[in-house]
Amino acid sequence: MKLLDFLLEQERTGVSADTIRSAAWEKFGAKVAVLNIDSVGFSRTTKSHGIVHFLTRMAKARQCMSTILQGADAIRFGYHADNCIAYFATPRLAVDAAIALQRGILDSGLTLNESEKYGLCAGIGFGDLLYSETLDGYFGDEMNLASRLGEDVAERDEILLTQSAYDALEINPIWAFDTRALDASGVQMSYYALQQ
């Protein structure tokens, strides 16, 4: 049974909200790292060169990213518009994949236009998430935070981690991080930027 069908069925039986919550987490819950990759310059390039131009570039970027992710121990990955969302067993695997994706796109020589290279930015979260086969992805706080960091906060070539992803990260001794703060929907949160 799929997550949303399960939730509707549980609600119809009249059990308590706590019972539904516990049963959903037991049946569909998993601890995973989520990597949200966003393309840089989508709106600007579409406005200056048209949507067909950008989509052609995006299709080439997807080919490159898919090849990298297939060799990166991703649990699964998929694309939504100019975003790529991938799931991993650990934050370390997600960070390694984000670095490999950024390097792969750079090495491919793919450009947005005559003067700007195609670029990626990333947000990474880690924690308990609910898997929905119907909606083809995971849901939960760390998914939301990773998406916020990857889509709204990160700049070109940045890799940003939530507090939970950073806390669970097996640190590579050559990595360094800056601590930053963000007001996310009225909640103050710390996040970490990988220095590259």
* Predicted model pTM: 0.91
* Residue 99 belongs to a domain: yes
Render pLDDT for 143-178 as a digit per residue (tens, 0 to 9): 999 999 999 999 999 999 999 999 999 877 889 999
* Residue 155 belongs to a domain: yes
Task: Name the percent of the chain in helix, strand, coil, to the closest 5.
Answer: 45, 30, 25
Residue 149 has which token pair? 């960091």
By three-state DSSP, how is residue 172 classified?
Answer: coil
What's the start-to-end Cα distance of the chain, in Å?
44
167 contact partners, CB below 8 Å, separation of at least 6: none
* Residue 65 belongs to a domain: yes
CA 99 remoteness from chain centre = 13
Render pLDDT for 137-151 as a digit per residue (tens, 0 to 9): 899 999 999 999 999
Tell me if 124 sits within 8 A of 35, measured CB to CB.
Answer: yes
What is the pLDDT confidence band of residue 184, given thresholds at 50, 70 and 90?
A: confident
Determine the residue type at 73: D
Q: How far apart are CA 143 and CA 20, in angstroms?
A: 21
Helix ranges (H only) for 71-183 are 91-108, 141-148, 163-168
Q: How far apart are CA 123 and CA 154, in angstroms?
A: 7
Which residues share a beta bridge with 161? Answer: 124, 192
Domain count, the chain: 1
What is the gyration radius of the CA atoms in the chain, in angstroms?
Answer: 18
Determine the residue type at 191: Y
Query: Quick one: average pLDDT of 12-33?
Result: 91
Per cent of the chain over pLDDT 90 is 63
* Residue 68 belongs to a domain: yes
Q: What is the predicted pLDDT for the residue at 103?
A: 96
Domain containing residue 37: 28-195
Tell me if 65 sits within 8 A of 35, measured CB to CB.
Answer: no
* Residue 3 belongs to a domain: no
CATH number of the CATH domain containing 142: 3.30.70.1230
Render pLDDT for 50-90 as a digit per residue (tens, 0 to 9): 889 888 888 999 999 999 999 999 999 999 888 999 999 99
* Residue 167 belongs to a domain: yes
* Residue 7 belongs to a domain: no
* Residue 11 belongs to a domain: no
CA angle 99, 174, 149 (to 5 degrees): 45
Place of tokens 């800056």: 178
Q: State phi, psi for 57 to the nearest 5 degrees.
A: -65, -40
